[in-house]
Amino acid sequence: MANSDALDAAFADGPAYVPYLVVGDPDYESSKAYVEALDRGGADVIELGLPFSEPIAEGSTIQEALVRSLDAGMTPDRFFAFAEELEVDAALVCMTYYNLIYQYGKGEGPRPFVERAAAAGIQGLVVPDLPAEEADPLREACDEFGLDLVFIVAPTTRGDRLDRMMANVSGYVYVQARLGTTGARDDVSDQTTASLDRLSGYDVPKAVGFGISTGDHAERIVAGGADGIIVGSALVDVVAEGVAADLSTAEVADRLEALSRELKGGAERGHRSRTGTVESA
C-alpha cells in the first residue's frame, strides 16, 4: 500500500511506464515541453531528476545531462517551481541525492525538503545514495507528508539487507536490472529475472530499470514478471541528440513522445503475453 494514491493508481491497471528525465536539461522551458511529451506518450509515473554535482550512481549519459541542467541554473527551488507548473496526468517522483535533501533543511534534516516537495505535487522520492540504514529521518518525513520512498534493489541485494529495505519501501521498488551505473544497453540481463524471483514474496509493485531502451526490451521485461519499466538513459539520449544536432524543442518533444509510445506499447504486449489476454479482433 502506497502513501500516495496516485502511485497506487499508476500500478493498479496494467504495467506502468516510468520514464526519467533531468529537469532543466538543457534548459527550463524545453525541459517542461519534454516532460509533458512523456506524459502524452503514456507515462504512468514520471521520475524527475534534480541534479547534484557528484552523481555517483549515474553513467555518463545522465551525468552529462545533470551538468547541462546545472550549467543552465537549476536549483532545488526552481525544480519545485517546475513541478508545480507541469501539466501532466502522471504521478511525479523526484530522484536526487541525499546532500540536496539534507541541505534544503538548513540544519533541520530532510523534513523541509519533503514538505516543499509535497506542496509542489511530488508523490515520491528516489535517493540512490541513501541506504535503508540511514533512511529513518527521511522515511518519517515522507510518512508525515504522504510521500512514498522508493528504494533501489540491486542484483546483489539479498538476505537481511533486502528485508530491511522492503520494510522501508513504499510506492514501488526500483529493481536494478544489472550491476553498474545507469545507461542504455542492448541486452536485458538474466539478473533481472533472478531479482524478480527474489522479490516475488513482497507485496509491492516491482519496476525494472537500467538499460531498457526499446519496446522489445520493455516487452521482455514485463513478460518476465515486472509490474513496470523505468527508462532513463534512452530518453536522456534523445535530449542529448537534440542538443548536439540543434533540433527544435518541438522536434525533440515529438521524438520523446514517439519513443514513449513504443516503450509503453512494448510493456503492454509483455503484460498480455504474461496474463494470456487475447487481443479481440
Partner 1 sequence: MSETDTRTTEETETARRPGRERGREDGKFGRYGGQYVPEALMPAIEELTDAYERYVLDNEDGFMDEFRERLADFGGRPTPLQRADRLSERYDTEVYLKREDLLHGGAHKLNNALGQVLLAKYMGKERIIAETGAGQHGTATAMAAAHLDMPCTIYMGERDINRQRPNVFRMKLNGSEVKPVTTGRGTLKEAISETMRDWAETVEDTHYVIGSIVGPHPFPVMVRDFQAVISEEAREQAREKTGGLPTDVVACAGGGSNTMGTFAHFVDDEDVALHAVEAGGSTLEVDEEAGVAPNSASLFAGEEGVLHGARTKLLQDSDGQIMESHSVSSGLDYAGVGPELAYLVDEGRVDPVAVDDDAALEGFHRLSNTEGIIPALETAHAFGYLEEHHEDLGERVVVNVSGRGDKDLDAAIEETDQRDVANAPDMSMFTGGM
Q: Which residues are catalytic?
A: 47, 58
The one segment of 32-40, 61-69, 213-221, 249-257 that binds partner 1 by CB under 8 A: 61-69
Torsion of CA 19, 69, 171, 121, to 10 degrees: -110
Rounded to the nearest whole angstrom, what is the least distance from the CB of residue 176 to partner 1 in the complex?
Answer: 6
CA–CA separation, 204 vs 163, rounded Å? 13
Question: What one-character-per-residue DSSP string does 201-262 give?
Answer: TS-S-EEEESS--SHHHHHHHHHTT-SEEEE-HHHHHHHHHHHHTT--HHHHHHHHHHHHHH
Contact stretch for partner 1 (CB under 8 A) within 3-11, 38-46, 145-153, 228-236 = 145-153
Site string for partner 1, 71-90 (x = CB under 8 A): ----xx--------------
Taking the complex as a whole, the smallest distance from the CB of residue 158 to partner 1 amounts, in Å, to 9
39, 88 Cβ separation under 8 angstroms: yes
Site for partner 1 in 178-237 (CB under 8 A): 179-181
**Cβ–Cβ < 8 Å for 166, 202:** yes
Task: Name the residue nearer to partner 1 (CB basis): 31 or 176.
Answer: 176
Q: Does 102 engage in binding with partner 1 (CB under 8 A)?
A: yes
d(CA 161, CA 142) in angstroms, rounded, equals 21
- The answer to whether 128 contacts partner 1 (rule: CB under 8 A) is yes
**How far, in Å, CA of 159 to CA of 17, rounded?**
29
The three cell numbers of residue 186 are 542492448
Residue type, 42: G
- Quick one: 130 or 141, whose CB is closer to partner 1? 130
Residue 99 touching partner 1 (CB under 8 A) = yes
**Size of residue set near partner 1 by CB under 8 A:** 41
> 201: Cβ–Cβ under 8 A, 6 or more apart, which residues?
none
Write down the least CB distance from residue 2 to partner 1, Å: 20
Residue among 145, 78, 75 nearest 114 (CA): 145
Q: Return the number of other C-beta atoms located less than 10 Å from residue 226's C-beta.
A: 30
Q: Quick one: which of 2, 104, 126, 252 contacts partner 1 (CB under 8 A)? A: 104
Could you say which of 100, 223, 253, 256 contacts partner 1 (CB under 8 A)?
A: 100
Regarding 163 and contact with partner 1 (CB under 8 A), the answer is: no
Q: Which residues of this protein are in contact with partner 1, per CB under 8 A?
A: 52-60, 63-64, 67, 70, 75-76, 97-100, 102-104, 128-131, 133-134, 151-157, 161, 165, 176, 179-181
